[in-house]
């Protein structure tokens, strides 16, 4: 069997979902040939430029996300049911690899791409949307819904309800094709224990910014200096070595703060960080929010600058379960952390709520559902 997984590096959630699925297929279905394809980056200079613009906005001008998201949503209204750009590349890819199953983890590689796959390879090729969102409402892209998808895989009942709510006005998508299977994270997340319900003895706060997130570690760290004797901190820098070097130099000037500066961390290392952390500070991206809920680790949403429409979905999901903690300025981080340290019972109650609302799933059941022929 051949499985083609469409993804794009606009943000990190879509890539993480694609590569986690690839790893599970290789682990449980070793005879399956799997190809992960960054189709927007590879198919056309126009779509590649769109991805680069998205990531630039995320790093430099997050306030532009509101305009960018609305423009991309408007593009769907004029999309003629096939890729506007990169059509020849996608056709050549399909003919060369000839997949039996096509899975998309990105909303802009569903409608058009699935239609094209069925035209090139025939109606027997199965197409599945892997929806990485947690909640519906404003911020939920209409591009997720594609009439050519044989199955729409969701992580939560709320997203299943959103797809069902929109299917009549957008794609007339059959309700029986919507399946809530839960999240499929990297094997290291599923195979080990979740974060313990009891708080760790020494608070270990992890500052994460994502692959394209704005570098605001130093303003946050400066606010935590008065709490240096009560905290351990980990700052994640991804693959941005310049940021890592800047933080290392800052740490040398502030030896009173127990700070570990780390570069890119693989799935095993990230799973270990979730298990040992007191809390994570991160943008409210879908994948980070899903991982935190799966592991039972409290999140502090870094909403400094601007919150993207799609990020508001994760915030809304957390708010409705009394799990949301957000900051919009560096000073607010000290207030939140200081408040938890002064009233540990409040933090303990929050951690218990995370345990109560943990996301769970069965990887083998998910794979069986994906591989099984459509009824």
Element containing residue 13 per DSSP (H, E): helix 13-28
CA distances (Å), origin 61, targets 10, 56, 213:
15, 7, 11
Q: Please identify which residue in the block is written with the tokens 């070793």.
A: 30
Choose which CATH entry (3.10.20.30, 3.20.20.140, 3.40.470.10, 3.40.50.2000) describes domain 189-356. Answer: 3.40.50.2000
| CA 69 – CA 142 distance, rounded (Å) | 11
Each residue's pLDDT tens digit, 29-70: 999 999 999 999 999 998 899 888 888 887 778 778 788 888
How large a percentage of the chain has pLDDT more than 70?
Answer: 93
365 pLDDT higher than 70: yes
What's the pLDDT band for 291 if we cut at 50, 70, 90?
A: very high
Q: What is the number of helices (H) and of strands (E) in the chain?
A: 16, 12
Helix (H, G, I), strand (E, B) or coil at 324: coil
| CA 101 – CA 111 distance, rounded (Å) | 16
Each residue's pLDDT tens digit, 147-159: 899 999 999 999 9
pLDDT for position 74: 75
User: Between these two residues, 121 and 171, which has the higher pLDDT value?
Assistant: 121
pLDDT for position 17: 96
| CA 162 – CA 285 distance, rounded (Å) | 19
3-state helix, strand, coil in the chain (%, to 5): 50, 15, 35
CA distances (Å), origin 251, targets 57, 196, 315:
28, 30, 31
Q: Is-contact 236 212, C-beta < 8 A? A: no
Query: Average pLDDT for residues 259-275, to the nearest whole number?
Result: 94
77 pLDDT higher than 70: no
Closest Cα partner for 238 from 264, 265, 273? 264
pLDDT for position 216: 85
306 contacts: CB under 8 Å, gap ≥ 6 = 62, 63, 65, 66
User: Between these two residues, 16 and 305, which has the higher pLDDT value?
Assistant: 16
pLDDT for position 186: 97
Fold of 2-182+361-371: Rossmann fold (3.40.50)
| Helix orientation angle between 311-319 and 286-295, rounded to the nearest 10 degrees | 30
Closest Cα partner for 297 from 233, 360, 354, 357? 354
In this structure, of 137-151, 173-187, 201-215, the range with the lowest mean pLDDT score is: 201-215
Closest Cα partner for 272 from 235, 297, 293? 297
In this structure, of 16-25, 147-156, 192-201, 291-300, the range with the lowest mean pLDDT score is: 192-201
pLDDT for position 82: 62
Could you give the count of Cα atoms lying within 13 Å of 105 in the half-sphere of its Cβ?
29
pLDDT for position 127: 97
Query: Average pLDDT for residues 324-348, to the nearest whole number?
Result: 96
Q: Is-contact 305 230, C-beta < 8 A? A: no
Length of the chain as a residue count? 375
């Amino acid at each position: 069997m051949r499985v083609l997984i469409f993804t794009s590096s606009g943000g990190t959630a879509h890539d993480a979902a694609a590569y986690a699925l690839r790893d599970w297929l290789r682990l449980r279905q070793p005879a399956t040939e799997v190809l992960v394809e960054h189709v927007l980056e590879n198919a056309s200079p126009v779509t590649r430029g769109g991805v680069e613009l998205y990531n630039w906005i995320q790093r430099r001008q997050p306030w532009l996300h509101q305009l960018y998201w609305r423009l991309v949503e408007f593009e769907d209204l004029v999309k003629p049911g096939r890729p506007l750009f990169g059509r020849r590349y996608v056709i050549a890819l399909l003919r060369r690899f000839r997949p039996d199953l096509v899975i998309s983890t990105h909303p802009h590689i569903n409608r058009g791409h699935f239609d094209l796959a069925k035209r090139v390879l025939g109606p027997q090729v199965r197409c599945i949307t892997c929806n990485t969102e947690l909640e519906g409402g404003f911020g939920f892209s209409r591009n997720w819904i594609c009439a050519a998808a044989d199955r729409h895989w969701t992580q939560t009942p709320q997203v299943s309800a959103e797809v069902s709510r929109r299917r009549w006005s957008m794609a007339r998508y059959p309700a029986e094709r919507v399946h809530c299977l839960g999240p499929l994270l990297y094997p290291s997340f599923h195979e080990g224990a979740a974060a313990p319900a009891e708080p760790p003895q020494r608070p270990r706060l992890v500052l994460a910014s994502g692959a394209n997130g704005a570098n605001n570690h130093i303003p946050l760290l400066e606010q935590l200096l008065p709490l240096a004797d009560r905290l351990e901190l980990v700052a994640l820098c991804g693959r941005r070595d310049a940021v890592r070097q800047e933080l290392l130099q800052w740490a040398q000037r502030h030896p009173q703060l127990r700070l570990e500066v780390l570069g890119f961390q693989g799935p095993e290392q990230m799973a270990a960080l979730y298990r040992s952390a007191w809390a994570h500070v991160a943008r409210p991206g879908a994948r980070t929010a899903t991982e935190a809920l799966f592991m039972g680790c409290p999140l502090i949403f870094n909403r400094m600058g601007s919150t993207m429409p799609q990020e508001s979905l994760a915030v809304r999901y957390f708010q409705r379960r009394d799990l949301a903690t957000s900051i919009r300025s560096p000073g607010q981080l000290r207030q939140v952390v200081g408040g938890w340290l002064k009233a540990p019972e409040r933090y303990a109650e929050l951690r218990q709520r995370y345990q109560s609302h943990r996301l769970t799933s069965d990887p083998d059941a998910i794979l069986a559902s994906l591989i099984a022929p459509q009824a």
